[in-house]
Structures are given as C-alpha cells and as structure tokens.
Structure 1
Amino acid sequence: MRERGPAAGPALTAPVVAAVVAAVVAAVANANFLLAPFVGARIDLATGVVSELSVPSEPGSVWFRLGDGTAGVLAAVLGIVLWRSGSRHGRFRSACLLAFGVGTFVSAVVPITCAPSLGPCPASSQTAELVHDGVSVLATTGAVLGGLELAWRARGVLKVLAVLVALVSAGCGLYEVVTFLQGGNGGGGDSQRWQVLAVSAWLVLEALSWRRPASG
C-alpha cells in the first residue's frame, strides 16, 4: 500500500493533545533569546550569536540554559514517542527530533564560556566552544532534516506551513554555513534568530501532524 504522509485528522486524541502541549512548551523554551531584553543581556544579537547568551558570566544566562535544556528534553521525549509509532518516515523524523533534543540539551549543559562579540577570549575557552559548537551543529542538522521531511510528507494547510518553516530553517542554515566557511561567525544572531523561530514552529507542526499517523 502506498505510504501517505501526515495530515490533519478529525479530532485530537488525548495523547496527541499531550504531544502538542509538550511541543508548544519546547517551542517557547527553544525561543528563549526573546528574554534577552528583559534580563539585561549584554549581547547584541545583531552581531553576536545566540549561544553567547548562555555564557555563565552573562546576565540571565541560567534562564537561557534552562530554556535550551527544557527544549532538548521535551524534543527527545517527542522523538521517542514518534519512534514507537512504527512508521518508517515517522522514525526518520523521530531520529531528527532526538538529534535536535540531545544536541540542544548538551549545549545547555556545556555552554560556551566566553562571548567573542564582547572581546577576545582566552585559549582555555576553546574546549567548551568546540563541544558546544559540535552538538549545536548536530541539533541544527536534525531540525533542518526533520523539517524538510515533514514538509515533504505533510498535506493540506499543514504542508503549506511546513514548507514555509522548512525553507526558512534550511535557508538560514545554509547561509550560516557559507558565512562560517568564509571566516564569519555563522551569520550572526539575525540569521540564527530566524532559524530558532523556524525550528520552534517545526516542533509544533510535527506534533500537530500526529492527528493522523502516517500509514506504512
């Protein structure tokens, strides 16, 4: 039988409602950079990167790490639940959720220890930066691939929204890679903020797609 992608179903079941609520909480926690103006953050996200908000010495850094940690745990839980659905394509997206969740959680546990946009960083900060950057790349890759797969499989209004979100997420990701290879900082906070918002939207759309599981 030809496999169909996720689409909106007739009614939300209790497990799907729980998944959507968890996804919304994860989405809000993931977009924690929105707190920056309210906690006195010194990082200018027009030039610096979002990760700099979590530097332990910066104002409100605990809230940004808590947000990332919460988003990571909830995304990983959603990935585990989706894996149990048995759908081949669902399992691919569950792996993407797990990659995003684990990478985001570890990035919260191992934040960078210096904000380059505020001044030179000591050599001792390089190890934490390498670990943080590595898991951040894992998380971003998982989110971009998961968003693209959802956009491919979804139907109806969900497909339109998923395509828009995937284009923003993938486009920002590509821009960040290109600027990084050219010696930049990955496009700075402007590109990252759009991508973070797109990833947050992907989490919610993914949960909403469970209203009618893919058949396979």
Structure 2
Amino acid sequence: MRSTRSRSAPRSAVPLSVAVAVAVVAALANANFLLAPLVGARVDLSVGVISELSVPSEPGSVWFRLGDGTAGALGLLLAVPLWRSASRHARFRAVCLAAFGLGTLVSALVPLTCAPSLGPCPASSAGAELVHDGVSVVATTGAVLGGLELVLRTRGPLRVLALATALVSTGCGLYEVVTFARGGNGGGGDSQRWQVLAVSAWLVLEAVSRRGDRPGRTARGRA
C-alpha cells in the first residue's frame, strides 16, 4: 500500500497563531497615525495627509516612519509562506501582501520632506514626494486587491467583515483618486484614516482566514 500527501497542502506551514500575531502587530504599526495626539503632531489630519506626520522636521516623525517600516516588513513576511504554496490563489494573495509591504516599507525609507498643509514647500521636495506617492499607490493597490480577493474566498461572518473592510478601503481609494485628479490632496487625512484602518483590518482578516488553508483530509493510500 502506498500513501501520498495532499497536493493542496502548503510547502511551508506556518502556525495560524503565529500568522495572526504577526498580522496584529503589522495592523497596529500600520495605524500609527493614532499616535499623532500623543506626540504633539502639528499636522491637522482633517486638512493634511497622513504622510505629513513622517516629515523629518515634524514632532515624533521617527515613530511614524518606524511604524510604516514595521508594517511593511511584516507584510512582506506574511507573504512568504503564501508564495511558497502550490496554490495559485495563495500566490495572488502573496503578491497583494508583498505590494503592500514593499510599498509601505519604501514609503518609510523615503518620507516626504515637507508638510504642504503647514505651508509652501520648496521645489527640492518634489522628488521625494513623487517617490513617496508612487510607492504609496502601489501599497494601497495591493491592499485593495487583497481585500477584494478576501471577500471572494471567505464565507460566513468572516466574509461579512471582509466585505465591510473592502468597501471602506476601495471607496476611500476611489475618492482619493478623484480628488487628486481634481487638483486636491486626496481628500485629506479624513479619508486616509478610514482607509488605513480598513487596511489594518484586512491584514488581520487575511491571517485569520488562513485556517481554511490548513490541509483537511489527506489523500488515502491506494493498493
């Protein structure tokens, strides 16, 4: 008699509790704007954008950059076991997480050098702003696509939570695109704060949903 392993089993299993713990830390680090009142940030997030909190000259900016860097690095870490899976859907999830992780990490390494909501910025700040905005778009796109995929993959209460998260993230993203196209700042921090919270929720839900990735029945041996 010869036994075989289930082909659907991941090549590199990671305990669900570990994945969830990593995702929770990433989610909290991603929502670092919540620290703004505690560090005496000058940026008014009803007017300015969240990225302005990371401008090196602003109070507590190192904590915001550290938060983004941590969230990005952990997002990349969460993508690794999914990419090593044989499942095509798991690899798509890995790409979404990697896009979010890489974009967020680079945005921490290349912060804005000026806060436009606090006054005029010199022309020399345009280069950093272009890079920062570009990688932020990559990160947001990965999160939005990952959130939409999560809705299709989950069932029951988890799907309801995933749908709510995806609607907020996608809706805020579209609103920001429209306002940017009209010459605005993406709707300011109000829209961004909701989107960041939705993305943080997606990270946790993505990890929790992995309980369905664990192999159930294995192929039985055949004579």
Q: TM-score, normalised by structure 1?
A: 0.92
Match of 2:94 in 1: 94
Secondary structure in 2 matching 1:212:
helix
Q: Structure 2: how far apart are the matches of 1:208 and 1:86?
A: 20
Q: Structure 2: how far apart are the matches of 1:65 and 1:86?
A: 35
Contact 2:97 2:142 in 1 (8 A): yes
The C-alpha deviation readout for 1:127-169, integer Å capped at 9, x for no partner, is 0000000000000000000000011111111111000000000
The C-alpha deviation readout for 1:165-187, integer Å capped at 9, x for no partner, is 00000000000000100110011
Q: Structure 1: how far apart are the matches of 2:140 and 2:14?
A: 30
Q: Structure 2: how far apart are the matches of 1:171 and 1:178?
A: 11
AA in 2 matched with 1:31? A
Q: Structure 2: how far apart are the matches of 1:174 and 1:128?
A: 24
Match of 2:30 in 1: 30
Match of 2:129 in 1: 129
- Say if 2:73 is the partner of 1:73: yes
- Say if 2:45 is the partner of 1:45: yes
Match of 2:212 in 1: 212
Match of 2:166 in 1: 166
Match of 1:178 in 2: 178
The C-alpha deviation readout for 1:187-216, integer Å capped at 9, x for no partner, is 10000000000000000000001011188x
Q: Structure 2: how far apart are the matches of 1:178 and 1:141?
A: 15
| Backbone CA RMSD of aligned residues | 1.2
Secondary structure in 2 matching 1:111:
coil
Q: TM-score, normalised by structure 2?
A: 0.89
Gaps of 5+ in 2: 1-12, 216-223
Gaps of 5+ in 1: 1-12
Match of 1:155 in 2: 155
Contact 1:55 1:112 in 2 (8 A): yes
Residues 181-192 of structure 1 aligned to structure 2 (within 5 Å): 181-192=181-192
Q: What is the count of residue pairs matched by the alignment?
A: 203
Q: Structure 2: how far apart are the matches of 1:128 and 1:170?
A: 26
The C-alpha deviation readout for 1:103-127, integer Å capped at 9, x for no partner, is 0000000000000000000000000
Match of 2:117 in 1: 117
**Runs of 4+ off more than 6 Å:** none
